[in-house]
Amino acid sequence: MQAYCVKCRTQRDMNDPRDEMTKNNRPIIKGKCANCGTGLNIIGKTIAQMG
């Protein structure tokens, strides 16, 4: 699974992706950049939807 890393400024693979919910109950996928370790987020999707 890939997400945009603001530190690397490119699409990077995500380590340890997990589903969570925001404070206003919207789905979010959280993980870490495989290259630099910065937190990555994909808002409005779940891991099953990205499948």
The pTM assigned to this predicted structure is 0.88
- Please tell me the distance from the alpha carbon of residue 19 to that of residue 39, in angstroms, as a whole number: 14
Domain boundaries, the chain: 2-50
pLDDT reported for residue 25: 96
pLDDT reported for residue 50: 85
Measured between its terminal Cα atoms, the distance across the chain in Å is 9
pLDDT reported for residue 3: 97
Residue holding tokens 């950049």? Answer: 33
Q: Tens of pLDDT along 1-51?
A: 999 999 999 999 999 999 999 999 999 999 999 999 999 999 999 999 987
- Please tell me the distance from the alpha carbon of residue 8 to that of residue 44, in angstroms, as a whole number: 22
pLDDT reported for residue 44: 96
pLDDT reported for residue 10: 97
